[in-house]
Protein backbone atom coordinates (compact mmCIF):
# COMPACT_ATOMS: atom_id res chain seq x y z
CA UNK A 1 0.00 0.00 0.00
CA UNK A 2 1.27 3.51 -0.80
CA UNK A 3 1.35 5.53 2.41
CA UNK A 4 2.16 9.19 2.99
CA UNK A 5 3.36 10.09 6.48
CA UNK A 6 2.67 13.71 7.37
CA UNK A 7 4.59 15.56 10.10
CA UNK A 8 7.36 12.98 9.96
CA UNK A 9 10.05 13.71 12.54
CA UNK A 10 13.65 12.59 12.23
CA UNK A 11 13.47 10.80 15.57
CA UNK A 12 10.45 8.64 14.64
CA UNK A 13 11.27 7.68 11.05
CA UNK A 14 13.72 4.87 11.99
CA UNK A 15 11.08 3.29 14.26
CA UNK A 16 8.47 3.40 11.50
CA UNK A 17 10.86 1.93 8.92
CA UNK A 18 11.80 -0.89 11.30
CA UNK A 19 8.17 -1.71 12.09
CA UNK A 20 7.19 -1.59 8.41
CA UNK A 21 9.62 -4.36 7.40
CA UNK A 22 9.16 -3.32 3.77
CA UNK A 23 5.44 -4.14 3.78
CA UNK A 24 4.26 -0.74 2.55
CA UNK A 25 5.64 1.88 0.19
CA UNK A 26 6.02 4.76 2.64
CA UNK A 27 6.90 8.38 1.86
CA UNK A 28 7.82 10.70 4.72
CA UNK A 29 7.26 14.46 4.60
CA UNK A 30 7.83 16.98 7.38
CA UNK A 31 4.86 19.18 6.46
CA UNK A 32 1.75 19.13 8.62
CA UNK A 33 -1.53 18.07 7.08
CA UNK A 34 -3.53 21.23 6.38
CA UNK A 35 -5.89 22.42 3.67
CA UNK A 36 -2.78 23.67 1.82
CA UNK A 37 -0.84 20.39 2.02
CA UNK A 38 -3.70 17.91 1.52
CA UNK A 39 -2.86 17.74 -2.20
CA UNK A 40 0.39 15.95 -1.29
CA UNK A 41 -1.75 12.85 -0.64
CA UNK A 42 -2.73 12.50 -4.31
CA UNK A 43 -1.84 8.97 -5.41
CA UNK A 44 -1.76 7.51 -1.89
CA UNK A 45 -4.34 5.09 -0.49
CA UNK A 46 -3.40 5.84 3.10
CA UNK A 47 -1.87 8.60 5.17
CA UNK A 48 -0.51 8.73 8.69
CA UNK A 49 -0.89 11.85 10.80
CA UNK A 50 0.21 13.16 14.19
CA UNK A 51 -1.54 15.18 16.87
CA UNK A 52 -0.68 18.56 15.32
CA UNK A 53 -2.15 17.66 11.91
CA UNK A 54 -5.48 19.07 10.79
CA UNK A 55 -8.04 16.45 9.78
CA UNK A 56 -11.06 18.71 9.92
CA UNK A 57 -14.08 18.52 7.64
CA UNK A 58 -12.66 20.51 4.73
CA UNK A 59 -9.34 18.64 4.78
CA UNK A 60 -11.08 15.27 4.86
CA UNK A 61 -13.28 16.36 1.98
CA UNK A 62 -10.15 17.01 -0.07
CA UNK A 63 -8.52 13.75 0.97
CA UNK A 64 -11.59 11.82 -0.12
CA UNK A 65 -11.49 13.48 -3.54
CA UNK A 66 -7.78 12.62 -3.78
CA UNK A 67 -8.55 8.93 -3.22
CA UNK A 68 -7.36 8.50 0.36
CA UNK A 69 -9.15 5.58 2.02
CA UNK A 70 -7.31 5.19 5.33
CA UNK A 71 -5.83 7.38 8.08
CA UNK A 72 -3.57 5.89 10.76
CA UNK A 73 -2.91 8.28 13.64
CA UNK A 74 0.43 8.12 15.41
CA UNK A 75 -1.18 9.23 18.66
CA UNK A 76 -3.75 8.07 21.17
CA UNK A 77 -5.66 11.35 21.13
CA UNK A 78 -7.80 11.97 18.07
CA UNK A 79 -9.38 15.34 18.80
CA UNK A 80 -7.71 16.70 15.64
CA UNK A 81 -9.82 14.52 13.35
CA UNK A 82 -13.50 14.98 12.56
CA UNK A 83 -14.52 11.34 12.91
CA UNK A 84 -18.08 11.97 11.70
CA UNK A 85 -16.78 13.65 8.55
CA UNK A 86 -14.35 10.78 8.03
CA UNK A 87 -17.19 8.27 8.29
CA UNK A 88 -19.27 10.25 5.77
CA UNK A 89 -16.29 10.30 3.43
CA UNK A 90 -15.87 6.55 3.91
CA UNK A 91 -12.33 7.05 5.18
CA UNK A 92 -11.35 4.47 7.81
CA UNK A 93 -9.48 5.84 10.80
CA UNK A 94 -7.49 4.15 13.57
CA UNK A 95 -5.32 5.52 16.35
CA UNK A 96 -2.46 4.24 18.53
CA UNK A 97 -4.00 3.86 21.99
CA UNK A 98 -2.09 2.79 25.06
CA UNK A 99 1.34 2.97 23.40
CA UNK A 100 3.08 3.71 26.70
CA UNK A 101 1.06 5.08 29.59
CA UNK A 102 4.23 4.74 31.67
CA UNK A 103 6.04 7.29 29.50
CA UNK A 104 3.30 9.87 29.97
CA UNK A 105 2.78 9.21 33.68
CA UNK A 106 6.50 9.29 34.41
CA UNK A 107 6.82 12.61 32.58
CA UNK A 108 3.96 14.00 34.68
CA UNK A 109 5.97 13.15 37.79
CA UNK A 110 9.07 14.68 36.21
CA UNK A 111 7.16 17.92 35.64
CA UNK A 112 5.84 17.92 39.19
CA UNK A 113 9.26 17.34 40.74
CA UNK A 114 10.97 19.82 38.43
CA UNK A 115 8.51 22.58 39.31
CA UNK A 116 8.21 21.76 43.00
CA UNK A 117 11.95 21.52 43.62
CA UNK A 118 12.73 24.52 41.36
CA UNK A 119 15.23 22.54 39.27
CA UNK A 120 15.39 24.98 36.35
CA UNK A 121 15.88 27.97 38.66
CA UNK A 122 18.49 26.04 40.66
CA UNK A 123 20.44 25.13 37.53
CA UNK A 124 20.43 28.72 36.26
CA UNK A 125 21.51 30.07 39.65
CA UNK A 126 24.44 27.68 39.86
CA UNK A 127 25.60 28.73 36.39
CA UNK A 128 25.83 32.24 37.87
CA UNK A 129 27.64 30.84 40.94
CA UNK A 130 24.65 31.75 43.10
CA UNK A 131 24.30 28.95 45.66
CA UNK A 132 21.65 30.52 47.89
CA UNK A 133 18.53 28.52 48.65
CA UNK A 134 16.14 31.42 49.27
CA UNK A 135 14.14 30.80 46.07
CA UNK A 136 14.46 27.01 45.98
CA UNK A 137 12.07 25.88 48.71
CA UNK A 138 9.66 23.09 47.76
CA UNK A 139 7.35 20.69 49.61
CA UNK A 140 7.42 17.01 50.57
CA UNK A 141 5.01 14.88 48.54
CA UNK A 142 4.37 12.32 51.25
CA UNK A 143 0.96 12.83 52.86
CA UNK A 144 -0.20 15.32 50.23
CA UNK A 145 -3.59 14.90 48.56
CA UNK A 146 -3.03 14.16 44.87
CA UNK A 147 -6.01 14.52 42.56
CA UNK A 148 -5.97 12.58 39.29
CA UNK A 149 -8.51 13.82 36.77
CA UNK A 150 -9.08 10.90 34.43
CA UNK A 151 -8.06 7.39 35.48
CA UNK A 152 -7.65 5.70 32.13
CA UNK A 153 -4.39 4.00 31.17
CA UNK A 154 -2.20 6.98 32.08
CA UNK A 155 -4.16 7.90 35.21
CA UNK A 156 -3.88 4.34 36.55
CA UNK A 157 -0.08 4.33 36.20
CA UNK A 158 0.06 7.77 37.78
CA UNK A 159 -1.94 6.58 40.79
CA UNK A 160 0.51 3.71 41.21
CA UNK A 161 3.50 6.08 41.21
CA UNK A 162 1.87 8.63 43.51
CA UNK A 163 0.92 5.86 45.91
CA UNK A 164 4.63 5.04 46.09
CA UNK A 165 5.34 8.63 47.12
CA UNK A 166 2.89 8.22 49.99
CA UNK A 167 0.25 10.56 48.60
CA UNK A 168 -3.43 10.38 49.53
CA UNK A 169 -5.18 9.69 46.24
CA UNK A 170 -8.31 11.44 45.00
CA UNK A 171 -9.73 10.97 41.52
CA UNK A 172 -12.49 11.91 39.13
CA UNK A 173 -13.63 9.83 36.18
CA UNK A 174 -16.87 9.08 34.35
CA UNK A 175 -16.28 5.40 35.10
CA UNK A 176 -14.62 4.91 38.53
CA UNK A 177 -12.21 1.99 38.67
CA UNK A 178 -13.13 -0.29 41.58
CA UNK A 179 -9.84 -2.19 41.38
CA UNK A 180 -7.82 1.02 41.47
CA UNK A 181 -9.75 2.19 44.51
CA UNK A 182 -9.12 -1.13 46.23
CA UNK A 183 -5.41 -1.42 45.39
CA UNK A 184 -4.33 2.15 46.10
CA UNK A 185 -7.06 3.60 48.29
CA UNK A 186 -8.22 5.99 45.57
CA UNK A 187 -11.29 7.99 46.56
CA UNK A 188 -13.50 9.01 43.64
CA UNK A 189 -15.12 12.42 44.08
CA UNK A 190 -16.93 15.02 42.00
CA UNK A 191 -14.50 17.13 39.96
CA UNK A 192 -15.12 20.30 41.96
CA UNK A 193 -14.46 18.41 45.19
CA UNK A 194 -11.17 17.07 43.86
CA UNK A 195 -10.20 20.63 42.91
CA UNK A 196 -11.01 21.85 46.44
CA UNK A 197 -9.14 19.14 48.33
CA UNK A 198 -6.03 18.35 46.26
CA UNK A 199 -2.60 19.83 46.88
CA UNK A 200 -1.46 18.34 43.57
CA UNK A 201 -3.69 18.01 40.50
CA UNK A 202 -2.99 15.96 37.38
CA UNK A 203 -4.97 16.28 34.14
CA UNK A 204 -5.17 12.99 32.20
CA UNK A 205 -8.42 13.32 30.23
CA UNK A 206 -8.90 13.37 26.45
CA UNK A 207 -9.96 16.61 24.78
CA UNK A 208 -13.70 16.52 24.04
CA UNK A 209 -16.56 19.00 23.95
CA UNK A 210 -17.05 18.27 27.67
CA UNK A 211 -13.40 18.70 28.68
CA UNK A 212 -12.57 21.74 26.53
CA UNK A 213 -11.31 24.42 28.94
CA UNK A 214 -12.76 22.50 31.89
CA UNK A 215 -10.00 24.05 34.04
CA UNK A 216 -11.07 27.68 33.90
CA UNK A 217 -11.22 30.62 36.30
CA UNK A 218 -14.19 29.16 38.18
CA UNK A 219 -12.50 25.81 38.76
CA UNK A 220 -9.18 27.42 39.64
CA UNK A 221 -10.95 29.54 42.24
CA UNK A 222 -11.92 26.30 43.99
CA UNK A 223 -8.29 25.20 44.22
CA UNK A 224 -5.92 25.87 47.08
CA UNK A 225 -3.64 28.86 46.57
CA UNK A 226 -0.59 26.62 46.89
CA UNK A 227 -1.87 23.84 44.61
CA UNK A 228 0.28 22.62 41.72
CA UNK A 229 -1.48 21.72 38.47
CA UNK A 230 0.16 19.27 36.04
CA UNK A 231 -1.16 18.81 32.48
CA UNK A 232 -0.12 15.84 30.31
CA UNK A 233 -3.44 15.70 28.42
CA UNK A 234 -4.20 18.42 25.88
CA UNK A 235 -3.50 22.13 26.19
CA UNK A 236 -7.09 23.14 25.49
CA UNK A 237 -8.36 21.31 28.57
CA UNK A 238 -7.00 24.38 30.41
CA UNK A 239 -8.07 27.96 29.74
CA UNK A 240 -4.49 29.23 29.49
CA UNK A 241 -5.18 32.96 29.82
CA UNK A 242 -7.39 32.50 32.89
CA UNK A 243 -4.83 30.16 34.43
CA UNK A 244 -2.05 32.72 33.93
CA UNK A 245 -4.23 35.40 35.52
CA UNK A 246 -4.69 33.12 38.53
CA UNK A 247 -0.93 32.58 38.79
CA UNK A 248 -0.37 36.35 38.61
CA UNK A 249 -2.85 36.83 41.46
CA UNK A 250 -1.30 34.05 43.60
CA UNK A 251 -4.46 31.95 43.34
CA UNK A 252 -2.43 28.90 42.29
CA UNK A 253 0.97 27.59 43.34
CA UNK A 254 2.23 26.56 39.90
CA UNK A 255 1.50 25.00 36.53
CA UNK A 256 3.62 22.27 34.93
CA UNK A 257 2.58 21.30 31.42
CA UNK A 258 3.74 19.31 28.42
CA UNK A 259 1.07 20.84 26.19
CA UNK A 260 -0.27 24.21 25.07
CA UNK A 261 -3.68 24.92 23.58
CA UNK A 262 -2.29 26.64 20.46
CA UNK A 263 0.81 24.48 20.07
CA UNK A 264 0.11 23.41 16.46
CA UNK A 265 2.84 24.83 14.26
CA UNK A 266 5.01 25.68 17.30
CA UNK A 267 5.87 22.41 19.00
CA UNK A 268 7.90 19.79 17.09
CA UNK A 269 9.53 22.41 14.86
CA UNK A 270 12.79 24.35 14.86
CA UNK A 271 12.12 28.08 15.19
CA UNK A 272 15.49 29.36 16.42
CA UNK A 273 16.42 30.69 13.00
CA UNK A 274 12.98 32.19 12.39
CA UNK A 275 11.52 35.36 13.73
CA UNK A 276 10.24 35.02 17.28
CA UNK A 277 7.11 32.84 17.52
CA UNK A 278 4.21 35.24 17.04
CA UNK A 279 2.03 34.23 19.97
CA UNK A 280 1.95 36.59 22.98
CA UNK A 281 0.03 34.09 25.11
CA UNK A 282 2.68 31.42 24.51
CA UNK A 283 5.45 33.78 25.60
CA UNK A 284 3.49 34.79 28.65
CA UNK A 285 3.23 31.11 29.57
CA UNK A 286 6.86 30.44 28.72
CA UNK A 287 8.20 33.36 30.75
CA UNK A 288 6.04 32.89 33.85
CA UNK A 289 8.12 32.11 36.96
CA UNK A 290 5.47 29.67 38.24
CA UNK A 291 5.30 27.65 35.02
CA UNK A 292 7.37 24.70 33.80
CA UNK A 293 6.75 23.99 30.12
CA UNK A 294 8.03 21.14 27.97
CA UNK A 295 7.33 20.76 24.21
CA UNK A 296 4.90 17.82 24.12
CA UNK A 297 7.69 15.34 24.78
CA UNK A 298 6.01 13.05 27.32
CA UNK A 299 5.58 10.26 24.75
CA UNK A 300 9.21 10.48 23.56
CA UNK A 301 10.73 7.27 24.92
CA UNK A 302 12.17 4.43 22.88
CA UNK A 303 9.51 2.09 24.19
CA UNK A 304 6.65 4.42 23.30
CA UNK A 305 8.02 5.23 19.83
CA UNK A 306 8.44 1.52 19.12
CA UNK A 307 4.84 0.82 20.13
CA UNK A 308 3.46 3.77 18.15
CA UNK A 309 5.30 2.63 15.04
CA UNK A 310 4.17 -0.98 15.44
CA UNK A 311 0.56 0.08 15.96
CA UNK A 312 0.67 2.42 12.96
CA UNK A 313 1.89 -0.38 10.71
CA UNK A 314 -0.56 -2.87 12.27
CA UNK A 315 -3.45 -0.58 11.33
CA UNK A 316 -2.16 -0.33 7.75
CA UNK A 317 -1.66 -4.10 7.57
CA UNK A 318 -5.26 -4.70 8.64
CA UNK A 319 -6.62 -2.46 5.92
CA UNK A 320 -4.32 -3.98 3.30
CA UNK A 321 -5.68 -7.41 4.24
CA UNK A 322 -9.28 -6.21 4.11
CA UNK A 323 -9.77 -6.44 7.88
CA UNK A 324 -10.87 -3.90 10.49
CA UNK A 325 -8.29 -2.69 12.99
CA UNK A 326 -9.00 -3.16 16.71
CA UNK A 327 -7.96 0.52 17.01
CA UNK A 328 -10.68 1.78 14.67
CA UNK A 329 -12.29 5.07 15.66
* Packing angle, helices 101-116 and 302-320, rounded to 10: 150
Q: Return the beta strands (E) in the chain as ranges.
A: 2-5, 25-28, 46-49, 70-73, 92-94, 145-149, 168-172, 187-188, 200-203, 228-231, 254-257, 291-293
Catalytic residue status for 234: yes
Residues 119-143: b if buried by 16+ CB within 10 A, e if exposed: eebbeebeeeeeeeeeeeeeeebee
Catalytic residue status for 263: yes
Catalytic residue (one of 199, 219, 234, 239): 234
Torsion, CA 272, CA 277, CA 281, CA 286, rounded to 10: 0
- 284 touches 38 (CB < 8 A): no
**Active centre residues (catalytic):** 234, 263, 296
Amino acid sequence: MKVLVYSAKDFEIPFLKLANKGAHEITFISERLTTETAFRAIGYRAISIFSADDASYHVLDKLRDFGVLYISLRSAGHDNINSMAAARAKIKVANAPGYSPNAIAEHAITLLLGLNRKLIRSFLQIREQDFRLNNLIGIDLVGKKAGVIGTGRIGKVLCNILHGFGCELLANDLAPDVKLASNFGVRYLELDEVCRKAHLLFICVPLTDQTYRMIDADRIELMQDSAILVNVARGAVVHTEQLLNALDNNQLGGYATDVYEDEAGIFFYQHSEDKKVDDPLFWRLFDHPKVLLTPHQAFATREALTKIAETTIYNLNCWEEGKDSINAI
